[in-house]
Amino acid sequence: MLMQPNAPSPAPPPIVPSGDVQQYDFIFNPNQPTKKSLLPGGGSKKNRIVLIAVGAVALVIIFSVIAGLINNLGKENTDALVSAAKQQQELIRVAEIGVQKSKTQDAKNIAITTKLSLESEQKEMQAAIQAAKLNPKKVLTGSIDAKTDAALTTAEQNNRFDEEFLKIMTASLTNYQKTVKTAYDNATGKNLKAALTTQYKSANTLAGVAGGIGD
């Protein structure tokens, strides 16, 4: 058999480096997609700094919320207590007006009963305020209701003082009862709960007396 001159020799197979072949994939498989960074912008230094800053702010917010919740644990809800103390002082003041100016027996009785009863309980109310770590003088500032004085003055001029006085006292004692009950229900401290017990019982009694007038 005759050999054909100048016949091309077959191409040698590609040489594959030994060891980890995957690290040479970019040579043998140039079209293979490269892995992308999970960070925006390809994980640049700037973006890493931004992510760290955002994470730090988030942690600060979380810790602030937790700290606020911890600080509020055990604190009394004093809104109703402050309202009750102010209402008590105003009721004593208005009752004194009724003692001086009322003419009918019903009006005079509710005025005297309210005044004496609430005056005897002022020390307990101040003890309740102090148990809630509040200053009684600051709490009782601004408790006078000018609208009540105006209504009583107008009623007196129209010879209707007792009627208006009983109306005001009935509504005020009913509201006082509700406020004291809320303060009592909200109290979590043993000392505050005990200090409000007398106020709670007395408020129920006075509201019952006022509500029974005219029946």
Q: What is the DSSP string of 89-124?
A: HHHHHHHHHHHHH--SHHHHHHHHHHHHHHHHTHHH
Please report, for residues 51, 114, 157, the alpha-carbon distance to residue 121 in angstroms, rounded to integers and kept in the order given.
61, 11, 33
What does the pLDDT read at residue 115?
A: 95
Question: CA nearest 28: which of 17, 44, 40, 39?
Answer: 17
Q: Is the pLDDT of residue 57 over 70?
A: no
Instruction: Average the pLDDT over 14-27 and give the result.
Output: 52
Top-level class of domain 79-212: mainly alpha
Contacts 24+ apart (CB under 8 A), 62-67: none
Q: Which residue has the tokens 């006292």?
A: 169
| Range ranked top by mean pLDDT from 34-38, 129-133, 188-192 | 129-133
| Range ranked top by mean pLDDT from 25-39, 40-54, 146-160, 172-186 | 146-160
Instruction: For 100-146, write each residue's pLDDT tens digit.
Output: 999 999 999 999 999 999 999 888 888 888 888 888 888 888 778 99
Q: Which residue has the tokens 């005759």?
A: 2
Higher pLDDT, 27 or 120: 120
What does the pLDDT read at residue 88?
A: 93
Q: Is the pLDDT of residue 67 over 50?
A: no
Q: Is the pLDDT of residue 193 over 50?
A: yes
Q: Is the pLDDT of residue 205 over 60?
A: yes
Which of 20-29, 45-54, 166-175 is least confident?
Answer: 20-29
Instruction: Report the alpha-carbon distance of residue 206 to residue 169 in Å, rounded.
Output: 10
Instruction: Average the pLDDT over 43-59 and give the result.
Output: 68
Instruction: For 90-101, write each residue's pLDDT tens digit.
Output: 999 999 999 999
Which of 45-59, 121-135, 171-185, 188-202 is least confident?
Answer: 45-59
| Range ranked top by mean pLDDT from 7-16, 53-62, 111-120, 140-149 | 111-120
Contacts 24+ apart (CB under 8 A), 54-63: none
Higher pLDDT, 129 or 195: 129
Quote the pTM value: 0.62
